Each structure stands twice: as C-alpha cells, then as structure tokens.
Amino acid sequence: MFQRIPTDTLNWIIVIVIALFLLEILFFNGWLIFSILFSAFMIFVGWRKFSHTWGKIVFLIGGVSLFFNILNTMAVRFLIIAGVILFILHYQRMKKEPEQITPQFEVDEMHQVDNQESLIKMKPLLNNRLFGDQTTSRTSYKWSDISIHSGFGDRIIDLSHTVLPNQAVISIRHLIGNIVIYVPYEVEVQLVHSSIFGRAHILGEHHKKLMNDTLAYKTKNYDTHESRVKIITSIWSGDIEVRRI
C-alpha cells in the first residue's frame, strides 16, 4: 500500500506528526519528553544487563512505559487516523483500478535495450537496527561501504579482516551506544564526528567530555595515500574509539 502513496503525502504526514508532538510538549504536556527519555533510559539499561533477571524486568517496564507514553500522544492518534484514511482510500482505488499483473518473459541479452544499465546487487556489511550490538565479521570478508542509522547498542567495525579500496566510507548515525573502529596501520584516516554527550578516543587523541560538539581529524598522509577510509559518525549519547590494529 505504501508504495503507491506519493512521497509528498508521506512527508506532510511526518511534518504534521512532528508539529503535533512539539505542540503537545510545549503547551499541553511538558513532562512527556522527560517521561519518554526516562523510559528509553530504562530500556537501554535493561538491554545492557539483559542477562540478569533485574535487567529483563527493567527492560520490560521501560518498554511498556514507552509504548503507552507514545500511544497517548496526539501525534500517534493522528498517525493512526491518517493510516486508517489512507487504507480506505487505497481500498477504494484498488476496487476501481484493480492491480494488473503482466507476465514477465525472459529476454535474450541480444534483444535488451541498449541503454539499460547492468547493476549488481550488493549485501551491506551492517544494517539499520534499533536495538542490539552489531559487529563486522571476525573472519575475512569482502568490503562494502557502510551507511546506517541505528538506535541502541554498540557498533564494532574491524577493518583488519578485509581489503579496502582506495577510498572507503563509513557513515553511522547512532542514538545511544558506543562505536569502535579498528583500522590497520597502512590505512590513512579522515574522521568527522559529532556528539551530544560522550567521549572520543581518536588514534591517541582523547576527549573526555563532549557536549554538543564536533571533531574533525585526518592523518598526515591522507590526501596522498592510496588506501584511505573516511569516517562520518554522529552519536546522541555514547563514545567513539578509533584505534590501530
């Protein structure tokens, strides 16, 4: 259903949801944001200590609390109503214009359109994930540039088990958790990191307190060396560590 919804319509829904959420916080329920943040903190603590019984309890309480806090907002109520309306409109449209399935036949390569591009589908090393830790393979793997959005947990990337191209790119936008990147000595590094709360340990440079700050570093031979990696990261709360291996 969502594939048929125009992008502009989805964008307007997102804008209205954000506006309603801000209005509710500013004028109707100022404690909502603190309640949501506290519930999210309980989820994070419970997830980190999930192996313990008390960790499971804290995680469950935080999850239930966050669910009902969000469910009771005007933004979510509007989103539910909008979803119902879009479903009804989609159902009516399908009744009037039934989807037609056209058989697809294999075409000989000699008869393909000349300007058709040949694409190779690649499997990403890491995927977007809201909860849980992620790490690259501990054995040899084929490199593919990383660009992900993630929520809670740690992200560990070890570049010593792969062969990097002349220019590799790692882009991670993360909410809460740590990012650790191991870089071989023969690879030059450029880093741009932004953080609301956290610390940074970048190839011997230490920043023990980052508050709404941005760091930018590059190694001496980055501009001329053949094997390079560009790292772009942002964390709401957490540490970043880039070390040689």
pLDDT at position 159, please? 92
pLDDT at position 202, please? 92
pLDDT band at 55 (very low <50, low <70, confident <90, very high): confident
CB 179 within 8 A of CB 233: yes
pLDDT at position 157, please? 92
Query: Residue 200's CB: how many other CB atoms inside 10 A?
Result: 23
Average pLDDT, the chain: 82
Alpha-carbon span 63 to 54, nearest angstrom: 14
Mean pLDDT across the stretch 77-91?
82
In tens, the pLDDT along 2-47 reads 555 665 676 677 778 888 888 888 887 778 788 888 888 888 888 8
pLDDT at position 4, please? 56
Mean pLDDT across the stretch 166-176?
90
Burial letters 121-141, b for 16+ CB under 10 A, else e: eeeebbeeeeeeebebeeeee
CB 175 within 8 A of CB 152: yes
pLDDT band at 72 (very low <50, low <70, confident <90, very high): confident
Mean pLDDT across the stretch 56-61?
90
pLDDT at position 7, please? 58
Question: Is it the case that residue 107 has pLDDT exceeding 70?
Answer: no
In tens, the pLDDT along 135-145 reads 888 888 888 89
CA distances from 78 to 31, 60, 70, 84 (A): 20, 26, 12, 10
Mean pLDDT across the stretch 213-225?
91
In the chain, where the domains are located: 2-96, 134-244
Mean pLDDT across the stretch 171-180?
89
